[in-house]
A and B are shown apart, each in its own frame.
Chain A
């Protein structure tokens, strides 16, 4: 359960990074 929780957190961090990355990417293409 602990391992699964850790895995979910890593997925969450990646998802957030992907989302924030999109905002930064949009700035660069302006």
Chain B
């Protein structure tokens, strides 16, 4: 007995020792972190602010504490009421949430507490509203307001006149003192370097300091949530929720709204007017930005709808500068995202067909095959599954060889699961067939489709093949399980281009069934899935008229013997997975007729008929709205003053610097918003490749944030011209000019024109005959 007692005693002492040790350790940790915290003098400022807020909680915002206690009581009675109603239990408690606060709050709002009182007031309101006296009183008040505004304007106007006079004085003296600062400017620069920049840096570092010490800013936040009664409101909201879902008494909503306003009045009256202006502006901006981003996403969805409606070859035509290459680039970017989405849909469909199949194992295996370069095209995907299927059948037919087959599969294919049950899927128990209502789908067929779709899904390089460079920046997020794509073209945060891919170089030999430029070109065999983009297809393929002299029997590869057109007509067959073709050609040219009809008629022709004026999809900003009106006015004025100044003077004066700074603030905001939310609508006319019938009107949205983010170079083929230009010893300035408005014979001869040479030939003949 004594032994047991002593064991209990020892155990108890050990437990107490452990607790004391843990508490001591915790206290030591706290002391250490506090010591580290207070080693920085900024910690004292933060502490003063936090303790000051806490003092306000105790001495000024007592109402908040009282309301939390009331809220907890209300919550308790509401819960009792809820269980009483829902489970038929009898409690002799009435929900106190319906009662108003017992504590008087001096800044309570003036709304009546009951609905009946409110109705009386409501009637009275409209009676007053409709009286002529009230209208007169309103305009009198407005007149008073305008009087004060004009008084302020009167006080400010001499300053403006003074500014104008200053400018006049500036502009009356010319100088070429380049970058020389005026006296005020020197003072300003000193003030900026010695005061403004250090203060700005201090505040920046102080906010970083606060951000780093999470405990302190969170405590500060909680104190002010308490002060402004928001904790009490949350508890009351929960109390009313439980009362309402049990009672559905809509008549109580008015009373609760008044109660909420009374509770909010703490914040409403404590925060000063300028505080509310800032809060209002921030809320306004948040709503506007949310709507702006929704508009951008909506435009992108409409574009995807347009592309999905198209056939496999989309031929965009338009004049120079109409934006046809921009349009096909934008379409290719969207289609590349669409391919990922389509592949994802196939993966999910198959996943649910055999929902018991351990897809995680299968995905792991596919990743291994992808890394080992066993699967790299739809064909290799099919082959891998076919081989696996074959070896599984062999193992079943000859169980004595199962172990050897498993060893072989592990070595060659990295397969590490059961040999009797593929990927540990109990095929005998759960079955290997799925009846889809029309067909009996085989598991192995599904695995083939899954592998092909998975290959498209996890390929991190671009799905675009083009005859010019296109940059893509979709990001794959892979935590080691099923990866997801972040394909959002519109980002709220400042998104720097860190990692991106570029389109693959389109080797035209890939698209030639017949003769090729490089015999036995290995790239030819790589033809398959992808978004193919060909700019200036007319110059590449030409039409029958241009190819008159070209013979199909020629030894060299040409447009008549390369069987490009035949390939184009059959592309679908190489790229279909579960009836979804993973191929799309986007091509462009200036005139549709310039591309031979044989190939063109396989395409849909999209004419760019018009390009609307760019508009900003951010609400309350768009060209005809408020901000641009102010921007145009302010920036216009500043720009004209600045240009005048920079023509006449070369030095720096403070006033012009200040104006330029203001102009830059406006311009930067305008430029950023314009680039983020700008959108041009292309008005398109759609017709078949046979170029007959009426044009069908369509729209396509070019959003700047998507297409002008260094996606492609509008001078994509500048490389060729650079090769020519590097040999040039003369520039435009060195070329001879005409001496007068009538060109001389010698000057015309310098034009090296076919036309002038022809005329010169006859005029020379006439001259020689005349002299003879």
Q: Which residues of A contact B (CB under 8 A)?
A: 2, 5-7, 9-10, 13, 18, 21-23, 25-27, 29-30
Contacts and interface: CB of A to CB of B under 8 A. Distances in A.
B625 A9 contact: yes
B624 A6 contact: yes
A5 B125 contact: no
A15 B141 CA distance: 16
Q: Which of A6, A13, A21, A27: most chain B Cβ within 10 A?
A: A6
B138 A22 contact: yes
A29 B141 CA distance: 11
Contacts of B121: 30
Interface of B: 121, 124-125, 128-129, 134-135, 137-138, 141-142, 623-626, 628-629, 632
A27 B628 contact: no
A28 to B, nearest CB: 9
Contact of B626 (A13, A21, A27): A13
A7 to B, nearest CB: 8
A25 to B, nearest CB: 5
Nearest to A22: B138
A22 to B, nearest CB: 5
23 contacts: A2-B624, A5-B624, A6-B624, A6-B628, A6-B629, A9-B624, A9-B629, A10-B629, A18-B142, A22-B135, A22-B138, A25-B137, A25-B141, A26-B125, A26-B129, A26-B134, A27-B125, A29-B128, A29-B134, A29-B137, A30-B121, A30-B124, A30-B128
Nearest to B129: A26
Nearest to B629: A6
A12 B140 CA distance: 22
B626 A9 contact: yes
Contacts of A7: 629
A4 B128 CA distance: 37
Given A2-B624, A6-B632, 20 more contacts: A6-B624, A6-B628, A6-B629, A7-B629, A9-B625, A10-B629, A13-B626, A22-B129, A22-B135, A22-B138, A23-B129, A25-B134, A25-B137, A26-B128, A26-B129, A26-B138, A27-B125, A29-B134, A30-B121, A30-B128
Contacts of B128: 26, 29-30
Contacts of B626: 9-10, 13
Nearest to A5: B624
A24 to B, nearest CB: 10
B596 to A, nearest CB: 45
B199 to A, nearest CB: 37
Nearest to A13: B626
Contacts of B141: 25
Nearest to B613: A2
Nearest to B141: A25
B170 to A, nearest CB: 29
Describe A's contact surface by its main secondary structure.
Answer: helix
B259 to A, nearest CB: 20
A29 B135 CA distance: 11
Contacts of A22: 129, 135, 138
A3 B121 CA distance: 45
Nearest to B624: A5
A3 B565 CA distance: 53
A7 B623 CA distance: 12
A1 B546 CA distance: 47
Nearest to A3: B632
Contacts of B629: 6-7, 9-10
Q: Which 6 A-B pairs have the closest CB atoms?
A: A6-B629, A26-B129, A25-B138, A5-B624, A22-B138, A9-B624
Contacts of B135: 22
A30 B129 CA distance: 10
B103 to A, nearest CB: 26
Nearest to B633: A6
A11 to B, nearest CB: 11
Contacts of B129: 22-23, 26
B120 to A, nearest CB: 11
A26 B629 CA distance: 32
Contacts of A13: 626
Q: Which of B124, B142, B624, B632: most chain A Cβ within 10 A?
A: B624
A23 to B, nearest CB: 7
A18 B125 CA distance: 18
A23 B624 CA distance: 27
A2 B623 contact: yes
Contacts of B624: 2, 5-6, 9
Contacts of B142: 18, 21
Contacts of A30: 121, 124-125, 128
B632 to A, nearest CB: 7
A17 to B, nearest CB: 11
Nearest to A7: B629
A22 B625 CA distance: 24
A7 B377 CA distance: 60
A6 B632 CA distance: 10
Contacts of B138: 21-22, 25-26
Contacts of B628: 6
A9 B626 CA distance: 8
A30 to B, nearest CB: 6
Q: Which of A13, A18, A26: most chain B Cβ within 10 A?
A: A26
A2 B629 CA distance: 10
Contacts of A5: 624
B637 to A, nearest CB: 14
Nearest to A27: B125
A6 B630 CA distance: 10
Contacts of B125: 26-27, 30
Nearest to B622: A9
A10 B620 CA distance: 12
A27 to B, nearest CB: 7
A25 B125 CA distance: 11
Nearest to B128: A26
Nearest to B623: A2
